Homo-oligomer: A and B are copies of this chain.
Amino acid sequence: MSLVELREQVAEANRGLAAAGLVTLSFGNASGVDRERGVLVIKPSGVACDRLQPEDAVVVSLDDGSVVEGSMRPSSDTPTHLVLYRRFGSIGGVVHTHSPFASAWAQAGQAIPCLGTTHADHFAGPVPVTRPLTGGEIAGDYERETGEVIVETLEDLGIDALHMPAALVASHGPFAWGADAAEAVTNAVALEAVAAMALRTLAIAPEAGPIGDALLARHFGRKHGPNAYYGQPAGS
């Protein structure tokens, strides 16, 4: 894939976040990676997602975070994206939003329990929440530390990043990722839907518990892995 195509994908992903209602004002950003060229492409800081054009996107070195192409500053969250790409080798796209319901769970400091098949179709278990950052982490290289605490959280679960393609940063909001920028947007949309559904489920039945492992595995397996039978065959 050319860098021109990656710019187009990233611009479309940023616009997709806005179109899905996940981004208010400029609270969000999407990026995509080109591992061969060793760069990521990301939204500029403070620019609204809904109007992002391919030529506005900023190309940043995966190696040292320097700007390779572009006249604007990259998103202030770029160091978080860099950590995720470096540590999760299988991912190709990352998004960050302050979406209304997923952010409420992040602010509550609670993982989103897996209460139904909408959740299980996308996430192989509860969507985890990070521990709070320490004072040192906040005062230091804050955005990089945000990435590190997400990695730490996934490592504690012992799960592949593409099987749990999102995490909530405590007191902050969600990050989601996927095989490319478009899939990261899809996972962010699914996350917001299940965050809202979980809140409402517990409002109806505070005692509602997680779905069983068998149903979770069946639904996650319908869409992921060697026995997937949802959607159309690859290459069709």
**B residues within 8 A CB of A72?**
232, 236
A186 at the interface (CB under 8 A from B): yes
Contact A214/B109 with A118-B98, A230-B76 known, Cβ cut-off 8 Å: no
- Indicate whether A157 reaches chain B with its CB closer than 8 angstroms: no
**Bound CA–CA A44/B204 (angstroms):** 33
A195 vs B154: C-alpha distance in the bound complex, in angstroms? 30
Q: Which residues between 33 and 53 of chain A lie within 8 Å of chain B, taking CB atoms?
A: 44-47
Within 8 A of B (CB), among A93-137: 98, 100-101, 103-110, 115-118, 121, 132-133, 135
Once A200-B101, A214-B139 are accepted as A-B contacts, the answer to whether A117 and B171 lie under 8 Å apart by CB is yes
Inside 8 A of A215's CB, which chain B residues have their CB? 133, 138, 171
> Is B117 touching A172 in the complex (CB atoms < 8 A)?
yes
Q: Does A231 contact B (CB under 8 A)?
A: yes
Interfacial chain B residues near A179, Cβ < 8 Å = none
Contacts of A142 in B (CB 8 A): 218
A107 in complex: contacting residue of B101, B186, B197, B230, CB < 8 Å: B197
Chain B residues whose CB sits within 8 angstroms of the CB of A133 once the complex forms: 215
Q: Are B139 and A204 in contact (CB under 8 A)?
A: no
Q: In the complex, what distance in Å separates the CA atom of A39 from the CA atom of B57?
A: 41
Q: Assess the A205–B108 pair: CB atoms within 8 A.
A: yes
Which chain A residues (19-38) contact chain B, with CB distance < 8 Å? 24-25, 27
A81 CB to nearest B CB, Å: 15
A173 at the interface (CB under 8 A from B): yes
- Judge whether B104 and A211 touch: CB under 8 Å: no
B197 touches A232 (CB 8 A): no
- Do A190 and B25 contact each other (CB < 8 Å), given the known contacts A133-B215, A199-B204? yes
Q: Does A153 contact B (CB under 8 A)?
A: no
User: What are the residues of chain B within 8 A of A62 when measuring CB–CB?
Assistant: none
Having A24-B190, A107-B198, one finds 16 other A-B pairs with CB under 8 Å, namely: A25-B193, A45-B230, A46-B231, A76-B222, A100-B197, A104-B203, A105-B204, A107-B115, A109-B205, A109-B208, A116-B171, A116-B172, A117-B172, A135-B212, A199-B200, A203-B203
